[in-house]
Amino acid sequence: MNATRGHLSALAAIVAAGIAVAFGVHDQVTLELVFTFLLYAVLGQSWNWISGYAGNISFGHAIFFACGAYASGLLVTAGASPWLAFVAGALAAIVLAVVTGFPTLALRGHYFSIATIAVAALVEVTVRVVPWLNGANGFELPIRTGWGALEFADKGNYVLLALVLFAAVQLATIGLERSRLGYYLRALRANYAAAESVGIDERRWKLLAFAASAVMASAAGVLYAQDTLFVDPPSVLGLSVSIDIALIGVVGGLGTLWGPAAGALVYVVLAKGVALHIGGSGKGYDLVIYGAIICIIAALRPDGIVGAIVNRQRRVRGAAGSDALAAEPT
Amino acid sequence: MALRRRREARHLADARVEALSTFGQLLVAGLLTGLVFALVAVGLTLVYGVMDVVNFAHGEFVMLAMYAGFGLALLGIGPLVGLPLVSIALFLFGIVVYRLFVRRLLTGPPEASVFGTFGLLVLMQGLAQALFTSDYRSVPNPPFQGTVQLGVFALPQAALVEGLGAIVLTAALFAFIEYSSVGRAMRAVSEDRTAATLMGIDVQRINLLAFGLGSACAGAAGALLLLSNPAFPDVGASFALTAFVVVALGGFGSIAGALLGALIVGVLEVLGGYYLSPELKMMPVYLAYLFVVLVRPQGLLGRR
Amino acid sequence: MSALLTVSGLSKRFGSLRALDGVELTVEAGRLTGLIGPNGAGKSTAFGCIAGALKPSGGSVRYDGREIAGMPYHKVARLGIGRTYQIVQTFADMTVLEAVTTGALLHRPRVREATAHAEEILAFVGLDTKRHRLGNALTIADKKRLEVARALATDPALLLLDEVMAGLTPAECRDAVDLLRRILARGITILMVEHVMEVLMPIAEHIVVIAAGKTIFTGSARAAVRDPAVVEAYLGAPIEHGAIGMPS
């Protein structure tokens, strides 16, 4: 299992580096950037399960992120432990995924994508209108500290938590690629007719992937809420949030293990990091840089950063002839 | 007693007439709005039909056109005279974008065009913000102020001109696609690219022209929209979103579908804005879309 | 010999066009049955209805005692029917081994066992040396072979083949016939739709001929060639009699 060992080593290295940063770095701005990177890598990976591996490109993934964020807001404001938000958010996310996925997952291509926009908009409106979700005001979480309250003055601990989530999500994805679900999703994406002919029930398997992806996004939402201490419709449910998540997944490479991390790196380091140095995101400079990078990658590496590498590896391996080793996904 | 009842009955009747005329007014306003959406959507669906690409930056082309129109207005050139100028400028812009960028995206997997055009969207919005700032730009001394009485309906002049302009241009485009040789070639490529190539059609050239034409539609729409909307960096986004829903509702690749979808969406949006609230105006649109694709996964008039 | 698949009174309308108007067909277990007919006879339509892709307008398709007409294809696959497509459907970006493993996963949910079974199937069809090639990097003959392998991996009792010989060279056809014989030797029943009769002659134990949406002959291949109705359908019928599906 050479490839798997490689991935696990890479993951271990990243976790080790993350721990070093969490304990060693004290500049809060840098820590916040690392935290954002990890969160977006998780969100990108969760999006990747349904849009990359399964091929249903979603522009409404923020709704699951919001499940966790709002769960946090609700529970903390109500005096409960924020740790429960992981469970509550996950449950809400699963229900939402099943309810919205059941009618839409069988839609093809762009029709599905537009449906996700429509669903997300409807969810946003519902959240604004339902009184116990505080409408347009959202939730402001009270400032506390400590592991019990899941809030910290030093961002280092947030980085640690995000690292745990990132590692869990990556391990789950490594497992996905080697599982029946993974094979079935790839088959559905590659050729629906052929997939059906070998007994794959599209709705059942895509719903499973959708629900799993929703849970991951929700967990990221909880951490986000505990960090920024503010949750409202535009910040967690807006179309731009969904678009950001989608772009990270696509730039990195659809259906690849490390694509989302690569995409998140581009987003955070180049767009946000550079923009901070140039001066202010109100001027649109971060958008110009980010947009230019995306265009360049799209033109030169249309499979995405990691996708280009993975596809080349597979083509080379295929041309090399037979291999005594049992095949494994790269 | 009888007098009061008669008066009440008359009030009820009046109220009903008023409600009906309000509804009718909204319907007409919705249709006019829909016509402008049609112009935007037709450009989008044309590009999709010919080269299987959804240009997610289409709204930004509209935004660019609005800024161009605004610039011309500052030079003293009115929006209506500016319209052909802006359309031509956007046509050329589309050609350049296709040559330099979109053409490359076509050689990659289908997702490449999604993320490439998204990148273009982000880039153009960023540039607009950086170059023009977020200020709202309205044409000074706009023409077509005031309302026009058409029977019982009072319509803003600007909306009427926008709608009429859109319908004329959409009809012209339709005629072009239907009767000109280039238009026929576009339809051929749209139906079966391989067969079209085998018949000697230069698909690259058709792609180029289609993209240019789609951009010109966005340009014309932008010039018209400037009559009653200010230009600002995010303006493209909301029009684009509606345009995408319109195209999907009508069926990707179908021009007639785009027109039908646009009228439906225009009416639903206006009705939603009035009977629900301005923030909720898109909700009936989204609900209608979801309902339609549940029953017809390929949209109203889409193929397959 | 028990009938594994029984088709009776199968009819299918597309609007006002009657594509099928009473097709009768029986497939005995363990044998290779051929379904043939001239162009426009309705073979593809009949195949589609049997395989579950198309919902028939009338009639029944009974497999192993169970009515399967109109059943979604993934359910039919679970019951033990595997199929190939006339225009070969590949998993373009999956390797040969991955594609067959996907099929094997139907009855072997664990990837390790599924992969092992897939390896065995690949050796059986002769694609094991190409196991890491990507689906879109194969020749047509290999793609068809892969499709058969993928279907075999689902442990079918009945294999439906849709014009699997189309586009193959004579040498490739001979290899294909050899593979079909070995599949039969494994106890798998085959129903083959073919356009050209001579391909089926050496292997089909039972032939059903359809023309203009109806079954016109059932019997051995040898008898089929001599049957006057069959000959007329293929060779001698004047065009205005509508034998090739054109309006009279």
Nearest to A239 by CA among A22, A40, A58, A106: A58
Are residues B233 and A250, on separate chains, in Cβ contact within 8 Å? no
How far apart are the C-alpha atoms of B100 and B119, rounded to whole Å?
Answer: 14
Q: CB distance from A135 to chain B under 8 Å?
A: no
pLDDT tens, position by position, A159-203: 999 999 999 999 999 999 999 999 999 999 999 999 999 999 999
Residue in chain A nearest B284 by alpha carbon? A122
Query: Residues 266-305, chain A: which have Cβ within 8 Å of B?
Result: 282-300, 302-304
pLDDT tens, position by position, A282-328: 677 778 888 898 999 899 888 888 988 888 888 888 776 544 444 44
Q: What is the pLDDT of residue A321?
A: 56
Nearest to C83 among A186, A197, A327 (CB): A197
pLDDT band at C239 (very low <50, low <70, confident <90, very high): very low
Distances (CA, A) of B37 to A315, B45, C127: 45, 12, 54
Q: Which residues contact C132 (CB under 8 A, 6 or more apart)?
A: A317, A318, A320, A321, A322, A323, A327, C95, C96, C97
Q: What is the pLDDT of residue B8?
A: 81
Q: CB distance from B215 to chain A under 8 Å?
A: no
Mean per-residue pLDDT, A121-150: 88
- Chains touching C (3+ CB pairs < 8 Å): A
Q: What is the pLDDT of residue B73?
A: 87
pLDDT tens, position by position, A210-253: 999 999 999 999 999 999 999 999 999 999 899 999 999 998 99
Q: CB distance from B287 to chain A under 8 Å?
A: yes
User: Is the pLDDT score of B165 beyond 60?
Assistant: yes
Q: CB distance from B116 to chain A under 8 Å?
A: yes
Adjacent-strand bridge partners of C18: C13
Q: Which CATH number fits domain A2-246: 2.40.10, 3.40.50, 1.10.287, 1.10.3470?
A: 1.10.3470
pTM of the model: 0.89
Among the residue ranges A97-101, B81-85, C199-203, the one predicted with the least confidence is C199-203
Contact in structure between B39 and B172 (CB atoms under 8 Å)? no
pLDDT band at A281 (very low <50, low <70, confident <90, very high): low
Measured CA angle at B134 (ends B161, A40), to 5 deg: 115
Nearest to B109 among A283, A289, A302 (CB): A302
Dig out the tokens for C75 from the structure.
Answer: 């359910």
Residue in chain B nearest A305 by alpha carbon? B112
Residue B198: Cβ within 10 Å count: 9
Q: What is the pLDDT of residue C1?
A: 53
Q: CB distance from B118 to chain A under 8 Å?
A: yes
pLDDT tens, position by position, B188-219: 998 888 888 888 889 899 999 999 999 999 99
Residue A72: Cβ within 10 Å count: 30
Nearest to B54 by CA among B214, B281, B234: B214
Average pLDDT, chain B: 88
pLDDT tens, position by position, B10-64: 887 777 777 777 888 888 888 988 998 999 999 999 999 999 899 999 999 999 9
Average pLDDT, chain C: 86
First vs last Cα of chain A: how many Å apart?
Answer: 10
Q: CB distance from B244 to chain A under 8 Å?
A: yes
Q: What is the pLDDT of residue A1?
A: 53
Residue-wise burial string across C211-239, b where 16 or more C-beta atoms lie within 10 A, e elsewhere: bbbbbbbbeebeebeebeebeebbeebee
Mean per-residue pLDDT, C209-225: 85
Q: What is the pLDDT of residue C242?
A: 41
What is the phi/psi pair of residue A127, to 5°? -65, -40
Mean per-residue pLDDT, C196-215: 83
Is the ipTM, as predicted for this complex, more than 0.85? yes
How far apart are the C-alpha atoms of C131 and A328, rounded to whole Å?
Answer: 11
Mean per-residue pLDDT, C18-35: 88
Q: Which domains does chain C have, with CATH numbers?
A: 1-78+157-248 (3.40.50.300), 81-155 (no CATH)
The SS3 assignment for C28 reads strand
pLDDT band at C241 (very low <50, low <70, confident <90, very high): very low
Residue in chain A nearest B304 by alpha carbon? A108
The SS3 assignment for B128 reads helix
How far apart are the C-alpha atoms of B34 and B31, rounded to whole Å?
Answer: 5
Q: What is the pLDDT of residue A210?
A: 97
Contact in structure between B25 and B89 (CB atoms under 8 Å)? no
Tell me which chain A residues have a C-beta less than 8 angstroms from the C-beta of C74.
196, 199-202
Query: Residues 195-214, chain A: which have Cβ within 8 Å of C?
Result: 195-202
Tell me which chain A residues have a C-beta less than 8 angstroms from the C-beta of C156.
none
Nearest to A191 among C89, C130, C154 (CB): C89
Q: CB distance from A316 to chain C under 8 Å?
A: no
Are residues C111 and A327, on separate chains, in Cβ contact within 8 Å? no
